[in-house]
Structure 1
Amino acid sequence: MFIDLSEVTQRLRRMSSEELDVSGSYQSFLLDLIREGKETLVVDQVSVWLFDDISDPKKLINVANTQWDNDLNADDYPVLLCEQYPNYFKAITTGISIDAHDAVTDPRTAEFKNNYLLPNHITTMLDTTIFKNGTPHGVVCFEGRGPLRQWQSAEIAYAEMVADCCSRRLLVNELWTLQQQLTKLAFQDALTGLKNRRYLMDSAHREISRHIRASEPLSVVMLDIDHFKRINDSYGHEIGDVVLKEFAQCCLQALRAEDSLCRLGGEEFIVLLPSTSVAGAQEVAERLRISVEKNIIETAHHYIQVTVSCGVANVALDKPFSYSLKQVDHAVYDAKAQGRNRVACSNS
């Protein structure tokens, strides 16, 4: 077989440069590349396999395959164990392409003879390494079922280009995943797992705009755990952290899925209540107050009961959200002044 390396390389380069969503499954963002490779090299199957651990690989995981009709769940990905195929793993980790003219007899691939090659009528294989930072990260496997095939240098070079294109997409996917994780951390309270003040301010801005368009009320509840400093002083900050986490979970269970519970800081929490009037918000706040009071927090050596003072306010849609925060903060101050463990409503 003869391929015009210049022509197929240009086609592959154009394909690789196209904008692609790498936020989905491996199969979804690698499939066009391996289909192109299958068509160009005229093979029966192309698959992508990745090492489980690039620094100490124990297995190869099949993450994309031209034979799959649909995406597989990660739990269903086929796996090859290093200990079962030592010669193949040794060859792959050198980074040198495996051009197995006769896959059944080639010492690098013969280990697959009885449990894969013969049952599937695979006769010839061309496997090229995917690199990550110069280290073998996986392999692109081209398999044929026809006559034995002497792989030409141009075919090997093309297959290696496919592997390099896969490598670049995998890197983009990794960077996207990292960015998502960093974004999540930026908007998440590390202790309770709730959204933080930064998220609250961004979310409130969006909700205000949405509620203006919909002409619907938007309310806010502030919760302040009563005498929290006394808990830290009596039991220590580690127990105080346990109380904060348990408090957060207790509140989440009493809220709707669309309600947004955030930790404002310290022992202060905020609930943003979409499409909710002040009267409705007072009912939510009272439900939260009762749930917190009934919840006994169990630690290794203590049973702790806490109460919460709640402030309720209507979000002023024509003003910055900071204005509504001040109003609800004043309402919490009133609840505490009235004896704590109660709900107070802003007068505005």
Structure 2
Amino acid sequence: MLNDLSEVTQRLRRVCSQEVDVSGSYQAFLQDIIDEGRTTLAVSRVSVWLFDDHTQPCFLLNVANTDWSSNADQTDYAKLSYERYPAYFDALMTGESIAAHDAETDARTAEFTYEYLRPNGITTMLDTVIFKNGVPHGIVCCEGDGGPRQWQMAEVSYAEIIADCCSRRILVSELWALQQQLTDLAFQDALTGLKNRRYLMDYADREISRHTRAELPLSMVMVDIDHFKAINDTYGHEVGDIVLQAFASCCKQVLRTEDCLCRLGGEEFIAILPHTNADNAYHVAERLRIALSQEQIRYGPEKIMISVSCGVTQVNLQLPFSQSLKQADHAVYQAKAEGRNRVVRG
């Protein structure tokens, strides 16, 4: 029984202030909070549930639980439906805490009696709402198995603080995810889904540093679609976009997972090939050239065929990346001057 909140809330505040990795699972970054709650409230289990849709919820999904290990990957979440437990959902949506002294007789939790309470020996529940922008977003559920329990106001208040702590961590996690999405968009070409020139320059600097330390070769292939302007002039820019998307998809099938394909702009692309010397890069470029020459891009009844000119060079790890980029670019111009649809080493 909690008569004085000052000591336990101070401890909870310290726990909540600890730095955690919010990029991981809910279980990982809520574990310490719910463990502290279980100990302080002397309950058998504390779990966190989130609504599938906070405006018109149909389900609650169990995303963290003191019964799970901190490293558990709980991808198959337990689920509660509004259709099955309407009284419980309606009570939660008011935002008020549910202090069910006897969970079987309380009208808000009695729906769980036969399917959950009795099979698991749960006799009492204290559920507090997690808010997001003032709207119920989920709950923290504290369950006891020691018979009916008269929940004190101090215990309800403490459980509400647990819910607020969870709310803050979840908000930080969502903001982190949004930041990652914005970062990805900043480095991504919207049309093809490939990385863009801005990403290429940062990535190349990191790879040059890594390959220099490891004394490993690093190569690149510059790819230019032949007569791309003619495709736009003949079929229109909409078809030109389709060709670029098909090109990107074909290249990704040929390249390795660790290779990095970026769009420089227009119809020019660069593939960075880690741990690859110039000879092997030449063979990769040939495979790309052949695969793309066999690609049939359909637009209605039309079958559009393309060819590419490729420039290959091994990155000079002792010079700025721009120097190797110019060398690959020169090789592409030479390939075009020699008749296109070919690979030239720079």
TM-score of the aligned structures, taking structure 1 as reference length: 0.95
The residue type equivalent to 1:175 in the other structure is L
- Aligned partners of 2:184, 2:272: CA distance in 1, in Å? 19
Superposed displacement of residue 325, structure 1: 1.3
- Aligned partners of 1:79, 1:215: CA distance in 2, in Å? 52
Q: Which residue of 2 aligns with 1:71?
A: 72
- Aligned partners of 1:215, 1:149: CA distance in 2, in Å? 68
Moved more, 106-115 or 213-222: 213-222
- Aligned partners of 1:146, 1:124: CA distance in 2, in Å? 8
Does 2:50 match 1:50?
A: yes
Q: Which residue of 1 aligns with 2:144?
A: 144
Moved more, 79-88 or 209-218: 209-218
- Aligned partners of 1:239, 1:79: CA distance in 2, in Å? 45
Q: Which residue of 2 aligns with 1:169?
A: 169
The residue type equivalent to 1:211 in the other structure is H
- Aligned partners of 1:90, 1:243: CA distance in 2, in Å? 52
Query: Aligned with 1:184: secondary structure?
Result: helix
- Aligned partners of 1:15, 1:176: CA distance in 2, in Å? 20
Q: Which residue of 1 aligns with 2:255?
A: 255
- Aligned partners of 1:280, 1:67: CA distance in 2, in Å? 52
The residue type equivalent to 1:298 in the other structure is R
The residue type equivalent to 2:96 in the other structure is I
- Aligned partners of 1:65, 1:226: CA distance in 2, in Å? 57
Cα distance per residue 1:70-129 (max 9 Å; x no partner):
62433x101111121111111101111011111111111111112111222211111000
- Aligned partners of 2:178, 2:229: CA distance in 1, in Å? 37
Q: Which residue of 2 aligns with 1:202?
A: 202
Does 2:38 match 1:38?
A: yes
The residue type equivalent to 1:220 in the other structure is M
Superposed displacement of residue 25, structure 1: 1.0
Structure 1 residue runs of 5 or longer lacking an equivalent are none
Alignment of 1:108-127 (within 5 A): 108-127=108-127
- Aligned partners of 2:2, 2:314: CA distance in 1, in Å? 74
- Aligned partners of 1:203, 1:233: CA distance in 2, in Å? 34
Superposed displacement of residue 221, structure 1: 1.1
Alignment of 1:212-291 (within 5 A): 212-291=212-291
Query: Aligned with 1:181: secondary structure?
Result: helix
- Aligned partners of 1:94, 1:30: CA distance in 2, in Å? 24
The residue type equivalent to 1:223 in the other structure is V
Moved more, 253-262 or 266-275: 253-262
- Aligned partners of 1:126, 1:73: CA distance in 2, in Å? 23
Moved more, 155-164 or 79-88: 79-88
The residue type equivalent to 1:174 in the other structure is E
The residue type equivalent to 1:92 in the other structure is L
Cα distance per residue 1:194-225 (max 9 Å; x no partner):
11111110111111112222333322211000
Q: Which residue of 1 aligns with 2:153?
A: 153
Q: Which residue of 2 aligns with 1:19?
A: 19
Query: Aligned with 1:200: secondary structure?
Result: helix
Superposed displacement of residue 136, structure 1: 0.6
Structure 2 residue runs of 5 or longer lacking an equivalent are none
RMSD of aligned Cα (Å) = 1.4
The residue type equivalent to 2:286 in the other structure is E
Q: Which residue of 2 aligns with 1:85?
A: 85
Superposed displacement of residue 3, structure 1: 4.1
- Aligned partners of 1:125, 1:141: CA distance in 2, in Å? 7
Superposed displacement of residue 15, structure 1: 0.4
- Aligned partners of 1:120, 1:314: CA distance in 2, in Å? 65
Q: Which residue of 2 aligns with 1:313?
A: 313
Fraction of identical pairs, as percent: 67
Cα distance per residue 1:250-308 (max 9 Å; x no partner):
11222222221111111100011223222222222112111111121223332111000
- Aligned partners of 1:207, 1:121: CA distance in 2, in Å? 57
Query: Aligned with 1:154: secondary structure?
Result: helix
- Report if the CA contact (8 A) 2:63-2:74 is conserved: no
The residue type equivalent to 1:291 in the other structure is A
- Report if the CA contact (8 A) 2:103-2:109 is conserved: yes
Q: Which residue of 2 aligns with 1:95?
A: 95
Superposed displacement of residue 38, structure 1: 0.8
Superposed displacement of residue 44, structure 1: 1.0
The residue type equivalent to 2:250 in the other structure is C
The residue type equivalent to 1:85 in the other structure is Y
The residue type equivalent to 1:262 in the other structure is C
- Aligned partners of 1:212, 1:123: CA distance in 2, in Å? 64
TM-score of the aligned structures, taking structure 2 as reference length: 0.96
Superposed displacement of residue 338, structure 1: 1.1
- Aligned partners of 1:9, 1:130: CA distance in 2, in Å? 17
- Aligned partners of 2:214, 2:145: CA distance in 1, in Å? 62
The residue type equivalent to 2:171 in the other structure is L
